[in-house]
Structure 1
Amino acid sequence: MPGDEETQHLRFHLLGPVRAERRGQPLVLGPPQQRAALAVLLLRGGRPIGTAELVEALWGPAPPVHAADTLCSYVARLRTTLDLPVVATDTECAVRVPAECVDAAVFAERLAAAATAKADGDVAGAHALLTAALDLWEGDTALTGLPGPYAERERRRLDEARATAREDLLECALALGQHAGAIADLRALVTEHPARERSRALLMLALHRAGRQAEALAVFADAQRVLAEQCGTQPGAELVSLHERVLTDDPSLGVPAAGPARPAGGGTTRDTTRGAAEGLPPRPADFSGRRDLVEAAVAAVRAGGLVVLEGANGVGRTAIALQAAHALRDAFPGGRHFFGLRGGSDRPLDPSTALTCLLRELGVRDGALPEGTERQAALLRSLATGRPLLLVLDDARDAAQVEQMLPGCAVIVTAATGEVELPDARRLTVDVPEEKEALALLSAVSGAVGTGAAARAAQSVVTACGRLPLALRIAGARLAGREFSTLADLADRLREEAGAGEPVEAAFRVGYEALGAECARALRLTTVADVPAYDGATVAAAADLPGGAKHGDAVAGELVAAGLWERAGRGTYRCHALVREHARRLSERTDGEEAREAALRRVVAHWSSSPGAAGPFPGVWGGGLVPAAVALLGVWSERLAGTAAHDVLRRPAEEALARAAEAGDGAGVAGALRVLAVPRCGADTLDRCERLLRAAVRWAEAAGDADGRLAAGRDLGGVLLAMGRGEEAVPLLEPAAAAGCPRALADLGLAQAVAGRMDRALKTADEAVARTADDPQAYVLRQAGRTWLRAGRSTTAADRLRDAVNAASSPREEALTSAYLAHCRLDQRRHREGVEAADHALSLEAGLGDAYCRGLALFARGRGLLSLGESRIAAGCLREAREVLGRRGAGEAADVEGLLREEFG
């Protein structure tokens, strides 16, 4: 037996394939059964084991006849042939080596030390110890390939210990504020162990802290499905508690200031109704009467969940829906959300755009939006599963607009009479209020009805307003503002105006004429940007108010007091569609195109400089304001590029293109073409994008638009790079890179690498990363990683790609980067890790519909499986990758084709 000093140079590896080495040189451990015997002896930590017990450990309760003799030969070889420290007698044997020589023992020691550090409040120390413990593992499972019941039991124990250690490590990471970087690892852990509730709780917490509440709630919905299918159970109390706390935005879920992490699913449950009305405008302060309709709507929601309130514009459908939604507060702690569909406008939201916008309203980030209405509808259903959620879908055009937006939760739809026929819906007709209720509303708004002559005058006002609540609010506000001294004066004026149009228009003119010049101008010019709600800063930008957002809020408050606007929430305001229509027509007559164009440009400039300010998607362009409309589309296109949400810009971009061409606006044509040319995430073709961008370059050049030419050239360079045409892409990307665009610089580095200019490429890639050092961008890091990979520098490439995964702000970015990381691992000959990374990318892509990501991940999976000897499955992956990437026109399609020819002829 070797001496103690020699024993110190032995190393035994059980956390993965079983192997041993002495002074760094591998030892041949013999057949699987002999390796299993060694593993048993090592895992006992030097304690002797009886011969009979060892036989049972290797062969179970029914060993072969000569099992004892075979065992003796194994022990003899371990002691003599391999020169291992085995102590054996006729009845028992043991292997005695220091604990630090066996990786499983070191793993256990580091876990214990980490637990002590965490208990003492040293989260960073615990994190470091857990990292060191997990670094000992060399495979997916311990004791890989060893036979026997003992090995099977120990494999399960060690694998469970590893999964728990990974959870402990990631919980420490969350306690240290590293929630963004932990998301990718937590998703991988949940994929590997879908029934582990603690892993899901940690992922939900990380997503919630990263501001991705909708994704966090989707994790819970998926847990319900998986646990029901695989275990026949429902989530436990801790996961349910966490779900409830995420729903209500519990402040205790925030990043702790210091100390050990709080258990993700623990803690007490707070008031579940707090914050539930986020996304729901306040109830109208002057609402009166209509109690029967409100009660009927509440009862219908409680009974069946789907209610349609139908009636003419201005009769108060929205006000009744909001009253009902507020009355249902306690029944829907999961949230109550209001969403306008613009069905009564000349440009209602199309069903696809409406669904996309609703998901954004519910907190789904653009990078997490799936491609296509079917996947988006499935995500909506997932978000609503098990969640007490109420949606108010206001001003629907028809059934087709809303049918994909009915996720199984409670929904109140408002619509024009007879326009929305939905099965299983309770239909409630909203008519104009009775005269008594209309008088009560007028009194609530104005404070002046009285008796006698005043009462008769009030009846005249109600009649002139057609008993429409919208008209009554506007008219009543004029009395409250003392613009009319008596009800009789107001009634006379309304009768005069009524001869020129319908009641709401008459009331609008009366209300508008009482406004000061500043408020009147703001009311008119805010119509250039047709969005569901305005904030003070947008009002100030549209009307060119000198005091900024504060001044804008003051003006908006006056419009609310005048009954022309309503409060949509804290610091936001909305305008009824009928009022907006009248105000826009008035602006077109009064302000003229030049002033309206300038107003929209100011709004676009404000949104461009304030990343979160653009809020909803653009819809109506306010007449012929082509240049500013194209600029607005450009702002949104930059923000939504690479996401499924970008497709909502297609229709307005097509309209802007037609208007620009009709007006002979070459710069506008080029800008609209750039928006239309952005590659979609689905099965889009890059040759389509190339054609549109080459046309954009020509139009911009002809118009003398240098900025537009630079931007179109940069976009074209990116598309050519994606097609594998790096040499052509370089001169197109160089000007934009020189102008200081980090993304263009990162693209240029990769294009230089594709063109074979490796030294220049690596310098360019590093420069792009350095420029974004203070604000790491997943795109820049990913392109830099691809550049280093092209140069054959897979270690640096892996570092860049891992950083890109950690910087990813959405599942789409994470999926695509994981696919590239899979190829990097394969180049490092870490084939199993490459396949795992590819599978992770595919699991994320399954809910997104990103065809390019799928093709890239399938390519990596096929490469990895080929190297692991699974050629039949690999061939299927590669053929599917060839089809997907080839249909898109991606440069990688040629690489897949080459590999298929090489391996399969």
Structure 2
Amino acid sequence: MIAFRAFGVVAASGPEGPLRLGGPKQRLLLARLLADPGTTVGSGEIVDVLWRSTPPTKALTSVRAYVSNLRRQFAAVDGRPRIVSRGHGYALDLSADDTVDLVDFAAAAARGRDLARAGDLAAAESALVEAVDTYRGEPFAEFGDAEFARQASAAADVRRRTALDDLFELSARRGEPGRHLALMTDTVNRHPLHEPFWRHLMIALHATGRTGEALQAYDRASAILLAEVGTVPGADLRELAQRIGDRDPSLLTPRPGMIRRPATRSFVGRTRELRVVAETVDAARAGRGGLVVVTGPSGIGKTTLAEQVVVDAGDDFAVGWAGQPAGLRPPRGWAWTQVLRQVVTDPAERERLGRVKADALSSLLPEWTEGLAVPGIPAVSDFEFASGVVDVIATLAVDRPLLVVLDDVHRADPASLDALALLADRIAGRPVAVIVIWSGSDLDPRLRSTRGTVVRLGGLDVGATAELAGVVAEEPLTAADARAVWESTGGNPLYVKELVRVAGVDGAPSGVPDTLVDVIGARLDACGQDSLDVLAAAAVIGAEADVAVVAELTGRDVAHVHEAFAAPVATEIVHLAGPRTYRFAHGLLRDATIARTSLAVLQRLHAGAVAVHRAHASPARTPAYEAMVAAAHHAWEAGAYLSPVDTVQVITAALDRALVRCAHRDIALLSTRVIDIVEREPETPVDDGILAGLWLNVAGAASIIDGQSSDAVERAVTRAWELGDDQHVAAALHCLVLCGRGALDEAQSLAQRMVDGDGRPSAGSLFVQIGLAMLRGDAARGRRLAETFFADYEPPDTVADPTAFFHPRVHGYLAVSEALDGRATAARLHVREGADLALARGDGFNALVARLTAVEVAAILDEPDGVADASSVLAAELRTAGSPQWAACADIIGYWARARTGAPFDTGVVRDAVAVYTADGSTAMLPMFLVLAAEVEMIAGRPDMADRILSRARTVADRTGEHAWDGLIHRTRRGHNV
């Protein structure tokens, strides 16, 4: 057991006494880790903390030495080094019985508040006294000029003042306002501008018979406020002085009860959950960003909880709140474009940000960079897009803490989720708090893998249900009615509110409609037909609707639309989100509006939305990508109200933009929709060649999203092959599926038949045969074929070309072959050339593939140094790009490198990664990955498991003909036997 001290001078003590923590820089390193126990602090940040702008040449070597020294000190206590390596940094991994006074202080303060709210006032007071006593000077005082120390000090100061306020309030409620009089006096001397402390002191002095001193305290407070800030005490303090002067007897009356903070509207219950979310916001206010996911079924109160947190946060934060449209497929990065538009409203500020962050914003919000020297809208990978979002968010948070609420994230587009996952890993040292609202229990893996806190909401209990129903009904419920409402709704706050609003509380259960839609429907009908018409139009537009667009869709003027929204606003169906926008109060309300609107009306409104989009399009300005994707959705939903030709035209326009942006999921969906229309409407002027190209779009996207050997790829390739006149690209993709599934001979036969009109091999034929040469271990043949390929075929100019990946991948195949032949320099040259080709054409995904090839080459050459960190970063980026299969390859190599270099590793992670890689039936390169997995098992001391894995590698190589890996299998088995 080690007791760490952060308050004052950093120290640590074991059972035998103080530990030797070394010199100032070594203690400073420990202090930075103590500021965030369990959180990984990057090596780069540690270097910045220790040396600021002038690090020595071998700074990282010094960091490793400091870490090693501290580990020895800690391990001498009980064998546990406590500082662990993670990714590119270090974390303080505490034992269960270790203590950190800074952590204990925060925990005692939170425990005190919880106990007070639960009614255990004596225990609450004891906990708050413990918290106050634990605070012994500023945290990390000896390093007070370091940014992390200033942030920790500010956060601790806020928490201490809150604990003191709670303690003094608690003593008054217990009827002993003078119990902590000496502490109150010291507190007002430390914080003379904080009026609540003067209030506590005045009440305590008056209650202990020192009324004159209480009034003198008021005079002193008045003088200080006037001298320091030029104002007089607030109305509360002035009223209290008046009551003390009048000898008001109620001031001496005990005030039993719980400590409460002001609530918004009908917010009840959720004490623990509110505290957990608020702690993340408080930490961000002090510069330690974080993420919290609030999850649960629809209507359970997730949004209401977030609203309460936003209200409690006050004006300290710039707030961005983004919802997700239901039914409408959100365009790439929808959530973040909405957040940025809310946070940055000033045109001049948008222009300034557009200049300093042009690269990021040109793909995110291109209209903010119009007029600047940005060459069009660049094609960026999903990871580049996510990085751009994180970069802009970090820039905004420099000037003011940022609170982001992402509502209905279960409906978010993948790019928004990818950016969210990346942001969660990069905001630890920034004043950014992110609240994620997720409906349902099946949390996205990208959110599960973040370091964020998950808060799961269930139904309210009977007491909270009764309190909420009473607030809505404006009268208390009997015990029987409260029980009946709770049983009918399961404590779901939305259900409770809707039920009570429609049925009241007298005999409520007997009047409960059968479904919530009926309840909401009754509320909608009460608004009148005029309101229903504008609500239907608003619901078609999305969660938030511009009043001018609603006016165009319904044939009304703007003033009339505002009038029609008055009843829905009064009944809280929608809120006025801005001077020109209305927002549905809850997604279920929008869903119910759509469900109760006839299909014909919905299709007519969708067609109208397309017309509005076209009417507002300007030849001089490229529409925002999200607007084009929204128009494509409306065109798809318009049905017979939009001609097939027009529908295809609108969707194809969005598809063209998606192809340039490498938005793989959008590409797959939009291509599939055009295919569906063409196959249903034969008169649509789309020939088989174009249709084949659409199927190739689907195949390419599916190979990244679903796996290179997935059934989705095979189905799409087969259709493209059946339809296209030039079948070489489809045939090449089909060969890749065959190779992925181990059918090398069949792929070889097909590739050799792919010739052009002059009888020479096509680009697709050479591409496939070079890959086959690599897999079979025939490097010389691969080189000869590659010379022909590069001489006869130039790389395509655009990433939208379905063959754009041929050239970068050929360099990858050659790099692996050269590495297997022991030609390290040639291998690395091909890696670099493949990466340069991909980056030059904006092909972010194949640039990632080139980096994957680089670590594969390192593994083949048995060079593990530096590979673990590179693979860890790469795996995260590949997941962000939407390809778990490729990320699994990086995971296998990364954990092999960790095992080889003596870093902590987990054989279970490697086995899981192999399972992910082979989930779609892929066997291509599997023997190599199995060899690496076997080496990990050997190092872990599991020779039997290693032997079984090597036997599997041998079997796969023999069955498929992938003999490129024979040397690796032999080398590893020989080392195993030795």
Does the TM-score normalized on the shorter chain lie above 0.5?
A: no
> Normalised by the size of structure 2, how large is the TM-score?
0.40
